[in-house]
């Protein structure tokens, strides 16, 4: 199976190199490319890092909103989507996803329990589960809770068509095993 990740951000980041070191080719997808109707990248996974909705970090949110239909089709056709915390307390920052997600920004170290999900558990397997940096929680959502701290959802899974969406507030790189599995389990499809 062919795997290739698209990293959605304005400029190259060390996260891209980390993905490549996990054995997954990775391409930077800028907001302009994402929103351009003529852009036709082929990926098995798209990754949207922490801070995507905070204008202090980037200007990605308008591009995500304008390409929400393409994102939904990408996942339905078998691509996987990994979305991190918005890093801002503002309503509607996940309104571009094909299911409801409400986010509460609050940076802290938390104990994360992923006992109900192999996929969610593999996201944080390189870390001490009793003390993981998180940038918030998801008080309401239309997915399945895959990682929790107390009663706060920290990792959400949602199967959509042939693909999977993972939304997480874990403020760490995903484990190497997760990157390889998640990026390569998706079907390489056009975005």
Structure tokens at 153: 């959802």
Which segments in the chain show pLDDT lower than 50?
none
Question: Can you give the pLDDT at residue 24?
Answer: 97
**Domain range annotation of the chain:** 5-190
Q: What is the pLDDT of residue 2?
A: 81
Q: Give per-residue burial for 143-158: e unless 16+ CB within 10 Å, then b.
A: bebbbbbeebbbbbbb
C-alpha atoms less than 13 angstroms from C-alpha of 120 in its C-beta half-sphere: 25
Predicted local distance difference test score (pLDDT) of residue 1: 55
How far apart are alpha carbons 156 and 32 in whole angstroms? 28
Residue 165: CB atoms within 10 A of its CB come to: 23
Residues 88-98 pLDDT 10s: 999 999 999 99
C-alpha 8: how far from chain center: 10
The 3-class SS string of 42-98 reads: EECEEEECCCCCCCCCCCCHHHHHHCHHHHHHHHHCCCEEEECCCCCCCCCCCCCCC
What residues form DSSP beta bridges with 147?
A: 155
Architecture of domain 5-190: 3-Layer(aba) Sandwich (3.40)
- Tens of pLDDT, residues 141-151: 999 999 999 99
């Amino acid at each position: 199976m062919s795997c290739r990740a698209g990293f959605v951000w304005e400029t190259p980041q060390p996260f891209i190199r980390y993905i490549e070191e996990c054995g997954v080719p990775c391409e930077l997808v800028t907001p302009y490319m994402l929103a351009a109707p003529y852009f036709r990248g082929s990926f098995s996974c798209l990754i949207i890092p922490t801070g995507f909705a905070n204008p202090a970090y980037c200007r990605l949110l308008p591009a995500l909103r304008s390409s929400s239909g393409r994102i939904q089709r990408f996942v339905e056709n078998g691509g996987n989507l990994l979305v991190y915390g918005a890093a801002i307390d503002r309503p509607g920052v996940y309104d571009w996803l094909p299911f409801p997600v409400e986010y509460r920004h609050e940076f802290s170290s938390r104990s994360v329990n992923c006992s109900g999900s192999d996929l969610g558990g593999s996201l944080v397997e390189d870390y001490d589960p009793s003390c993981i940096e998180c940038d918030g929680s998801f008080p309401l959502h239309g997915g399945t809770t895959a990682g929790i701290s107390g009663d706060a959802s920290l990792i959400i899974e949602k199967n959509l068509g042939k693909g999977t969406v993972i939304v997480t507030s874990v403020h760490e790189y995903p484990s190497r095993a997760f990157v390889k599995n998640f990026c390569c389990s998706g079907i390489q499809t056009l975005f």
